[in-house]
Amino acid sequence: MRCSAVSPADIYDGGYNYTNSSVLLNVGNGGAGQSGLIKELADAFIKESVANGSAPFKVAWYQSDTTYSIQYLQEGIIDVGITYNPAAEKIAIDRSIAMSRNYVFRDHFLLVGPPSNPANLSNSSDIISMFSKIQETAELATSAVPVRFLSRYDKSATNIKESYLWASIGQVPWATAYSTWYHQYIAFPMEALTAAILLNEYTITDRGTFLSLPGNLTNQTVIYKAATNNEDDPLLNPAHLLVGKKAPNPSQAKFFGKWAVGPAGTEGTRPSTGRRSGTTKSENPYLLVRYLGAQNPRCQPLLLSFALAQLPVTEQQHPKDNNSYFLGNIGKHNIVMSCLSSYGFGLMVGIGGGIPSDDCDIRLGDVVVSLKTLSAGWCNTAWGRRPPAANSNAWAI
């Protein structure tokens, strides 16, 4: 029997509501759980298992950052952990804390801060230069508004990342005597980001958390630097799934690990369109349209986050533009990405073109709303980065 003083933050049942069903999978993670992704993955996994003959069961989510997820694996509290630090993950494998490590998705770190921009950051600077500028301006204390930086200071992947960035410029503001502008705020992602916004402080957060903010808070902060999908980008935040050596439910843990990184199960769909007159299918036939759908409106920001992960290149938004969309490109195709809450879809729409086919007739000026289907899908004339199958399946309508 396994005894633990740690309790799950939530338990998911795939919508079956069977009071007598047992918890057969325990997942440890922080930000993706807060944003709703763990629930989507859990519910999709339960539904697919039941469809294949399994009795309904439950999945428990333990709210834990990377450090505690690995600790919970070591103690046999959780079956799998979704973590964000390759070095820590390798150590967990080497020490037989975890049996396997699989790349399940990627998130993106962001440097955000107050719209007043007291450190006078430039969008053209790289992240290292921005950290140097924050430190220099904070130490000089010459700005009208004080420059402060909020650190989660909790051994999380976010805390480790910002610590690495400070060390990269030869600074350790948490060391004795620690810098007064360095705000140590131990909290989970959403709480920490909210505090930084309300206190007009710069901070490092992840895109999934940022997109889950209420609109009134989103309008009070600015993204000064966002990760690209370049593998060498210091702000890229890859997530790996670790299966624990002491997993309470070893067979289920291994099965979930394989399911989460299984082959893509996507299919093409026919979108409905609102069309401007006077356009033809032959005009600029290079528009890319993709969508991901979800039943849970709370998870729309996560859909947008993972849709954004497909863009090889993302563009910086103007600091004073607080509209809810993102810019990027795939090859020569300019991309605008947003989320239409009334439909529950994340949309990726290329500017100025159409798809030259009868199945996917999308033309210049079209507004595209994808039809509901049983799985996520896309029609395309150019490929971005295809998400893992688990992501697509979890977000199916």
Q: Is the pLDDT of residue 200 over 70?
A: yes
Q: Is the pLDDT of residue 363 over 60?
A: no
pLDDT > 70 fraction of the chain, expressed in percent and rounded: 65
Question: Using CA atoms, how far apart are residues 31 and 27, in angstroms rounded to an integer?
Answer: 13
Helix (H, G, I), strand (E, B) or coil at 355: strand
What number is the average pLDDT over the span 141-151? 93
| Structure-token match 């069961």, residue found | 57
Q: Is the pLDDT of residue 382 over 80?
A: no
Of 218 and 312, more confident: 218
Taking a C-beta distance cutoff of 8 angstroms, is the pair 173, 165 a contact? Answer: no
How many other C-beta atoms lie within 10 A of the C-beta of residue 18? Answer: 12
pLDDT at 271: 31
Helix (H, G, I), strand (E, B) or coil at 256: helix
The chain-wide mean pLDDT, for the chain, equals: 76
What number is the average pLDDT over the span 254-268? 64
Taking a C-beta distance cutoff of 8 angstroms, is the pair 208, 305 a contact? Answer: yes
Query: What domains does the chain contain, in order, with CATH numbers?
Result: 10-107+238-260 (3.40.190.10), 108-236 (3.40.190.10), 272-394 (no CATH)
Sign of CA dihedral 62, 66, 67, 71: positive
pLDDT at 260: 87
- Specify which residues 318 forms β-bridges with: none
The half-sphere exposure of 152 on its side-chain side, counting CA atoms within 13 A, is 23
Sign of CA dihedral 208, 209, 214, 218: negative
Q: Is the pLDDT of residue 239 over 60?
A: yes
pLDDT at 301: 58
Q: Is the pLDDT of residue 324 over 50?
A: yes
How far lies 25's CA from each of 48, 65, 79, 80, 280, in Å? 14, 18, 6, 8, 52
Question: Using CA atoms, how far apart are residues 232 and 228, in angstroms rounded to an integer?
Answer: 9
Q: Residue 291: which residues within 8 A CB-CB, separation 6 or more?
A: 269, 271, 307, 345, 346, 347, 348, 368, 370, 376, 377, 378
- Beta-strand relationship, 98-113 and 58-63: unpaired
pLDDT > 90 fraction of the chain, expressed in percent and rounded: 47
Phi and psi, residue 393, nearest 5°: -65, -40
pLDDT in tens, 3-31: 457 899 999 999 998 888 999 999 999 88
pLDDT in tens, 86-131: 999 999 999 999 998 998 888 899 999 999 999 999 989 999 999 9
What number is the average pLDDT over the span 287-304? 46
What number is the average pLDDT over the span 234-255? 95
Count Cβ neighbours within 10 Å for each residue of 359-376 and write b for 16 or more, e otherwise. ebbbbbebebebeebebb
pLDDT at 248: 97
pLDDT at 264: 28
